[in-house]
């Protein structure tokens, strides 16, 4: 009989996670993996999605998890811990969409307008609102927010902020077309928009240059997801935190090696894009580790506090297994 510890791992199938699914990731000799492909918003048999199952049931040993909800969970002593591995990241600028015939080209144009989000606490929502206020000097409190998804963790919205809940976000393309909303900020824009069936455009004319300017100022690629681990597991086996982190680092390196084949990607110029990105970013934008991502994490905590999702700011060290703070 094997003495290995079997870990149930819930991830989405990004390229940086392929090695977990095809069995090429090096696994610690005392660990056996049961890797499950679970999208972040896919409803499971119990009616909850991946984040909700981890939050309320600790349904997995290791789980790709919302950064914003994680910050709120830790402030409320929910028994999950983290390792400084960040498998999903996005700049907010490319996720701000408006009607193609609108006169909106800057966040200041959205003051007083209706802007749809997923939930208020969705990490992209947290980031975008924080960037409006602290990067563009546009108070997020002066926008009318339309929400399409229920909150994972209960909280009270700041007094005076206008918020309405409408439900299904796949209708947002139609709502934008009809001018029932003025914009949407989403980590997953409606399929109708992404397939070109309903016209929409990004708020910024040159969002790539806008994101490069953001990176030049802040020095990091904003975090969307973190890797959460059941706290009870780490209390029993604290060494697992570093072991799991090493597996994610190895998986990321394997993913990077795919691009040594110029035709690995179906994108015709995939290798050129890869080289151009390497030339632009001073450091690996996907680099894991606590020290490298400290300012990024600190900024999210500040945004969460400003948006009344946590009652008081706290140290980034409180989020992670102690064994990983030296990384």
pLDDT at 7 over 60: yes
* pLDDT attached to residue 275: 94
All structural domains of the chain: 5-89+223-324 (3.40.190.10), 93-218 (3.40.190.10)
pLDDT at 1 over 90: no
Please state which of the ranges 59-68, 191-200, 207-216 shows the lowest mean pLDDT.
191-200
Residues 6+ apart with CB under 8 A from 227: 62, 63, 64, 65, 82, 83, 85, 86, 87, 244, 245, 248
Residues 6+ apart with CB under 8 A from 157: 120, 163, 308
| Over residues 58-68, mean pLDDT | 96
- Distance between CA atoms of residues 228 and 225, nearest Å: 9
pLDDT tens digits for 284-296?
999 999 999 999 9
- Distance between CA atoms of residues 291 and 298, nearest Å: 11
- Per the prediction, the chain carries an average pLDDT of 94
């Amino acid at each position: 009989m094997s003495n290995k510890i079997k870990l149930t791992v819930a991830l989405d199938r990004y390229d940086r996670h392929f090695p977990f699914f095809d069995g090429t990731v090096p696994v610690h000799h005392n660990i056996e993996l049961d890797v499950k492909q679970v999208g972040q918003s896919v409803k499971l048999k119990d009616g909850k999605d991946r984040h909700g199952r981890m939050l309320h049931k600790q349904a997995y040993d290791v789980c790709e998890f919302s950064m914003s909800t994680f910050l709120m969970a830790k402030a409320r002593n929910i028994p999950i811990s983290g390792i400084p591995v960040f498998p999903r990241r996005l700049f907010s600028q490319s996720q701000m969409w408006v009607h193609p015939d609108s006169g909106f080209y800057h966040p200041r144009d959205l003051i007083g307008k209706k802007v749809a989000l997923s939930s208020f606490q969705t990490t992209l929502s947290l980031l975008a609102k924080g960037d409006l206020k602290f990067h563009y000097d546009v108070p997020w409190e002066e926008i009318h927010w339309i929400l399409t998804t229920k909150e994972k963790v209960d909280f009270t919205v700041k007094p005076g902020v206008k918020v309405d809940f409408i439900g299904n976000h796949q209708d947002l393309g139609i709502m934008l077309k009809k001018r029932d909303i003025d914009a949407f900020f989403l980590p997953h824009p409606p399929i109708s928009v992404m397939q070109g069936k309903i016209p929409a455009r990004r708020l910024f004319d040159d969002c790539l240059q806008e994101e490069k300017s953001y990176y030049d100022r802040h020095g990091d690629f904003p975090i969307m997801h973190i890797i959460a681990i059941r706290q009870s597991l780490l209390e029993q086996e604290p060494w697992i935190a570093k072991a799991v982190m090493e597996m994610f680092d190895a998986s990321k390196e394997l993913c990077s090696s795919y691009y040594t084949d110029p035709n690995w990607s179906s994108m015709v110029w995939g290798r050129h894009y890869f080289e151009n990105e390497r030339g632009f970013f001073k450091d690996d934008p996907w680099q894991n580790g606590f020290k490298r991502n400290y300012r990024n994490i600190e900024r999210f905590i500040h945004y969460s506090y400003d948006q009344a999702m946590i009652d008081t700011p706290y140290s980034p060290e409180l989020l992670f297994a102690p064994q990983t703070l030296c990384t």
